[in-house]
Amino acid sequence: MPYTRRRFSELALSGLAAALPAAAQIPGQRPPARPDGVTVVNPRTRVPVALMIDDSTCLVNLAHFCIPQFQEVFPERYKQPWRTMPREIPDSFVRKFGEWCLENGVKGKYSIVPNPACVGWMDREVPGWTKRELEDSLNLVRSTIVPNWDIHPEMVTHTWVIDTKTGRPYEERNEKFMENFGWTVGKSADELSDYLSYALKILKNAGLHCEGITTPGGFGGRVLPELSQAVLQTCRDVHGVEIPHYFRHAFLDDRSVVPRVEYASGLDGPDPRCVVSIIGCTNDWFGGWDAVVEGDVDKMVTADLQGGRMQDVIRRGEPAVMYCHWPGIYFNGTESGFNIIKEVTRRLHASHDNLIWMKLSELARYWAAKELTTISAAPGGAEFRAPYACPEFTVQYSHRTAGGAGPTLRAGHEQVRLREVSSPLQLKGPSWARQGDGVVACFDLPKGNSVLEW
């Protein structure tokens, strides 16, 4: 059967993604076994949380413009009243949303579709809006969104596939020539790299730096190894990214949702490589991609603060990454999805004192360092050989290796003394705390060799 956009999402979210044939990605190189009693834990012993926003771009309300294009291929499945939907999501709303997130520390990923539904180009012009309006909108993203959000392309158009040789959509009008559906089936890593590069270059021309990509709908679902390799290559080539990442999966079952570090290589050399798959843990319960049915905050965190998918994942100690769609956040001007974000955030903060909001690039870097850093025993502490630097790297020792004034981090001629704090949740900057019979230490891990010693 042909896979609609919603069908792809249902398969991934219900745990039936195996119905889509694909080989597993390769983890790649890993360091030797670590000493007993030494464990890398969550940053500052806190549980990471994040929000991923899909279908966002400058000015264009993607739902209004993409539904008739989906309808052309699947007329019986896309009957939403798109003509009644606003054609624009105004910058006044972007500013309100961005400023609220800055005030409340909410972080994650924000898509900018480079050529939304073939309406216009983010690096040139968007017919229906002036050139100045587009420039102002891009400046707003840089100043108000970028501080707390990674910017991703969500392929090129989110609808029709673009011929990268001509810059025009292919003439065929079927699901095989839509980004959301069948175009990627059978594509090689090189072919996907060409397409991803096309999208990444548009945003680079528009002055937006990208450390990762988001796949629209079913894009890449049957070529997961090739997709992972293409993200690794193109983000490095186009934007000079050290640790590329991508959002492709969201799981609602019992599978782990920790980031997956893939295709790691060169860990002992000057040019280490890896790519990180960031996994969502919720469905879009904020208002949906088409802004037709309002969301449900209780599915994420119940009113009594005890239940909901986010609470389940947070209690496991795994990164709890929500995802939603920008048209549903604006919700045709009612802002009901935005109100749900506010309430989810309030409930999370009311029920936990151990959360840390992170951008996806921050999550990717932490997990790459967590999994790929070689750790060996050293007198009175541990020695690290890190392919990547990592802020607030946090290590737990199951037994106290020494007493006295606490640990010092040494790297070459540099040394940093860690200050003692009263509890692990007080860790911030170079610091350490006692934890039962052991200790936990937090510090900025430098790339290369370093030693933490008492």
Q: pLDDT digit string (tens) for 120-176?
A: 999 999 999 999 999 999 999 999 999 999 999 999 999 999 999 999 999 999 999
Mean pLDDT over each residue of the chain, to the nearest integer:
93
Mapping DSSP to helix (H, G, I), strand (E, B) and coil, where does residue 128 land? coil
Mean pLDDT for the stretch of residues 218-222: 95
pLDDT of the residue at 400? 62
Query: What's the rounded Cα separation, in Å, for the pair 135 and 324?
Result: 26
> Tokens 């209690």 sit at which residue?
315
Predicted confidence (pLDDT) per residue in 47-96, tens digit:
999 999 999 999 999 999 999 999 999 999 999 999 999 999 999 999 99
Burial of 79 (0-12, 13-18, 19+ CB in 10 A): exposed
pLDDT at residue 178 above 60?
yes
Of 312 and 13, the structure prediction assigns the larger pLDDT to 312
By percentage, how much of the chain surpasses pLDDT 70? Answer: 93
Mean pLDDT for the stretch of residues 348-356: 98
pLDDT of the residue at 406? 83
Query: pLDDT-based confidence at 379, cuts 50/70/90?
Result: confident
At 310, which helix (H) or strand (E)?
helix 309-316
Mean pLDDT for the stretch of residues 310-321: 98
Lowest mean pLDDT among 222-236, 296-310, 394-408: 394-408
Query: What's the rounded Cα separation, in Å, for the pair 16 and 245?
Result: 23
DSSP 116: G
Pairing of strands 245-250, 212-214: parallel
pLDDT of the residue at 9? 42
Residue 396 β-bridge partners:
39, 440
pLDDT at residue 339 above 60?
yes
Mean pLDDT for the stretch of residues 292-297: 96
pLDDT of the residue at 21? 36
pLDDT at residue 440 above 80?
yes
- Looking at the chain, the domain(s) classified CATH 3.20.20.370 span 5-35+46-365
Predicted confidence (pLDDT) per residue in 247-287, tens digit:
999 999 999 999 999 999 999 999 999 999 999 999 999 99
pLDDT of the residue at 24? 67
Residue 438 β-bridge partners:
435
Query: What's the rounded Cα separation, in Å, for the pair 213 and 196?
Result: 8
Mean pLDDT for the stretch of residues 83-110: 98
DSSP 144: I
Query: pLDDT-based confidence at 25, cuts 50/70/90?
Result: confident
pLDDT at residue 10 above 90?
no
Query: What's the rounded Cα separation, in Å, for the pair 421 and 105?
Result: 23
CATH architecture of 5-35+46-365: Alpha-Beta Barrel (3.20)
Query: pLDDT-based confidence at 23, cuts 50/70/90?
Result: very low
Q: Is residue 54 within 8 Å of residue 326, measured between CB atoms?
A: yes
Of 380 and 377, the structure prediction assigns the larger pLDDT to 377
Query: What's the rounded Cα separation, in Å, for the pair 153 and 140?
Result: 17
H-helix segments, 206-291: 224-239
Pairing of strands 448-453, 390-397: unpaired
Query: pLDDT-based confidence at 355, cuts 50/70/90?
Result: very high
pLDDT at residue 16 above 50?
no
For residues 179-215, b (16+ Cβ closer than 10 Å) or e, as one string?
Answer: bbbbbbeebebebbbebbbbbbbbbbebebebbbbbb
What's the half-sphere exposure (Cβ side, CA atoms, 13 Å) at 372? 32
Q: Is residue 247 within 8 Å of residue 280, measured between CB atoms?
A: yes
